[in-house]
Amino acid sequence: MKGSTVISENVLTGLSIVISFILMVLVVRVVLSYQSERAYENLFESIARDISMTIDREAGMSGSEIAEYELPKGSHSNIRIDYKSVFVTYGDKTVKRSFSGLINSGPYEFNDPTIICFIKTGSRIDIFDRPCEEVPT
């Protein structure tokens, strides 16, 4: 036919190899991106879980108790501890964990804390965003 371009088998094979390579790179990138995002979410879920477990442990103990929780280095988040829930906000997402112990104080809001101190006296649990030795008793 006049004016038509004939594509050789070699050109078609070359194009299919290039397209296959691009698709493989995209699939690997999506999988790795999902895994790193999920690991990042797991970090903040574990922070919320650890804080709620610490509150429950403190509430379950008789007498006075002191506990410290050091947040993982580089985990920038805001923490809000309310009546029966812990909210950990990072970026535009929030993780919520519930606890059963009564804190009889609060709510507490901490912006990017590095350490959290829990002090139980009687049935009251006070929470601070500094080491326990810095908290006046």
The tokens for 70 are 């050091």
**Average pLDDT rounded to a whole number, residues 95-99:** 94
Report which DSSP code applies to 64.
-
pLDDT over 70 at 18, yes or no:
yes
Q: Give the tens place of pLDDT for each residue, 25-66.
A: 888 888 877 777 788 889 999 999 999 999 999 988 888 889
pLDDT confidence of 13, banded at 50, 70, 90?
A: confident
- What are the φ/ψ torsions at residue 134 (nearest 5 degrees)? -90, -10
d(CA 133, CA 137): 9
| Threshold 0.85, pTM exceeds | no
